[in-house]
Amino acid sequence: MKRSPTRLLLVLFLCTPCFPWSPCSAAPKPNVLLICIDDLRPELKCFGADYIHSPHIDRLAAKGRAFHRHYVQAPTCGASRYTLLTGRYGGTNNGALFQRAARIAKEGARVPPSMPAFFWKKGYTTVSVGKVSHHPGGRGGKDWDEDTKLEMPHSWTRHLLPAGPWQHPRGAMHGLANGEIRKNAKDMDVFQAFAGPDTAYPDGLIVDEALKQLDKLAAAKKPFFLATGIIRPHLPFGAPAKYMAPYKDAELPPIPHPEKPGGKTTWHGSGEFMKYNRWGKNPNTDPEFALEVRKHYAACVTYADALVGRLLAKLDEHKLADNTIIVLWGDHGWHLGEHAIWGKHALFEESLRSPLIIVAPPAVRSQQGEALEVKSPGAPTRSIVESIDIFPTLCALADLPPPPDLPGTSLVPLLESPRAAGHPAISYSGNAETIRTDRYRLIAHKKGHVELYDHESDAGETKNIADEHPGVVQELRAQLAKRLAR
């Protein structure tokens, strides 16, 4: 029997498989790879630091958008990770996520979902490896390994920390080579370079496990949200000796504004750094020792970069890169002598600015078929953004309606154009709050004192001009109060 052309087309249509890009099937949900790096300054080659060896992160930035003025909400690990993982302003200390867990135990579903919980409920497998929340592995107790004390309940399909010779997550957090665990910090060297493999330090085991998880997730054929937390360059600054090689004879630029600030500020005495064994040396008074500290920090950055490279290579091995959103995020900055601080915990620029890179590949499309990829890849943006913007951005890229009342702003416009507008950034500590605009930083202390700094001045955050500009102070204080009205 002769078929009509119309009937033949209908038969062909009904017999044609529905490929992911065909009109008869919804676009597949993109995977998410979140890479968290502890204490990472925006001191990478792709952020303008030519003396830093960071080839893998640089290649990532060349594929996506590097946010050169990204600010965290708090200059400490736990509170900063709270805002990343919940998309909301929150507590000011390292117990912020445990405090939220206590609320969940009492209030249940009335507590808004975390970012991984949100993706879990949307059908994703959510896996965390390493230091993603404050405690590596996300548990509490004496050694941070008790399954009944979760930092982020109802969030992860699997939440892992391979401790190896460091015995437990607490040991891995501050571990040096070959299982050395911090007991008394004064007995542990502040820096070290051991001539051994990547697995001589805890991060080598963390990334080995993350690669195994990627193998499992690739085989499962289901969208995943994989978060991997690399501990270095957190103190103590220990890394395999091969990563010190680029810095052995390197010349580093001078430390800007190395003097202790005058007047009332959020300056502190670098207690976390100073408690380690420093061989009787102080980097604020010993330039040669300061240079050694900076080089060992740089070696830790290059070590972390190499581990990032292994994660990206595994994505390529499984042909997942074309459908995986990648976010690389530093949990806060770190002073290397600026303002005579060696650490974080202040509300100066060096504590609050950290790297953020987002890659949205061409295969990421909305249900309407609209491409959401990065345009002009490799071009950085200097628009101001915050960590709380990451949650709504991932929702937009995954074409998922975000939870209600998220205070952050989707960064998709900045992925489409590096010149799109940003917005002022809010940060806080236990005793003060700050707002950063294109020009100014205002720091408002709880007891009334105010600092105002002009970033168009060479003095930067060394000259408090609050008394000279009361109108600017009033306007920025009003913005700060409005944004932090929780």
Got the DSSP string for 376-391? STT--B-S-EEGGGHH
Tens-digit pLDDT string for the chain (486 aa)? 344 333 322 323 233 333 333 333 456 899 999 999 999 999 999 999 999 999 999 999 999 999 999 999 999 999 999 999 999 999 999 999 999 999 999 999 999 999 999 999 999 999 999 999 999 999 999 999 999 999 999 999 999 999 999 999 999 999 999 999 999 999 999 999 999 999 999 999 999 999 999 999 999 989 999 999 999 999 999 999 999 999 999 999 999 999 999 999 999 999 999 999 999 999 999 999 999 999 999 999 999 999 999 999 999 999 999 999 999 999 999 999 999 999 999 999 999 999 999 999 876 765 565 666 688 999 999 999 999 999 999 999 999 999 999 999 999 999 999 999 999 999 999 999 999 999 999 999 999 999 999 999 999 999 999 999 999 999 999 999 999 985
431-486: what CATH class?
Answer: alpha beta
Phi-psi region of 87 (alpha: psi -120 to 50; beta: other; left: phi over 0): left
Cα(375)–Cα(364) distance, rounded to whole angstroms?
13
What's the pLDDT score for residue 137?
97
What's the pLDDT score for residue 200?
98
What's the pLDDT score for residue 485?
83
Phi-psi region of 433 (alpha: psi -120 to 50; beta: other; left: phi over 0): beta
What's the pLDDT score for residue 12?
30
CATH of domain 27-419: 3.40.720.10
CA nearest to 95, candidates 405, 430, 406: 430
Query: What single-letter amino acid sits at 452?
Result: L
What's the pLDDT score for residue 116?
98
Largest CA distance in the chain: 97
CA nearest to 201, candidates 171, 246, 157: 171
Residues of the chain with CATH 3.40.720.10: 27-419
Q: Using the CB atoms, write b or e for 388-412: b if 16+ within 10 Å.
A: bbbbbbbbbbbbbebbeebbbbbbb
Phi, psi of 339 (to 5 degrees): 60, 25
User: Token pair for residue 92?
Assistant: 């000011």
What's the pLDDT score for residue 469?
98
Taken in order 52, 53, 59, 60, the sign of the CA dihedral is: negative
Residues of the chain with CATH 3.30.1120.10: 431-486
Distance set, CA 430 to CA 75, 84, 95, 96, 180 (Å): 10, 18, 12, 12, 32
Q: Using the CB atoms, write b or e for 87-97: b if 16+ within 10 Å.
A: bbbbbbbbbbb
pTM summary value:
0.93
What's the pLDDT score for residue 440?
98
- Omega prior to 136 cis, within 30 of 0: no
What's the pLDDT score for residue 368?
60
Instruction: Give the side-chain half-sphere CA count within 13 A for 97.
Output: 31
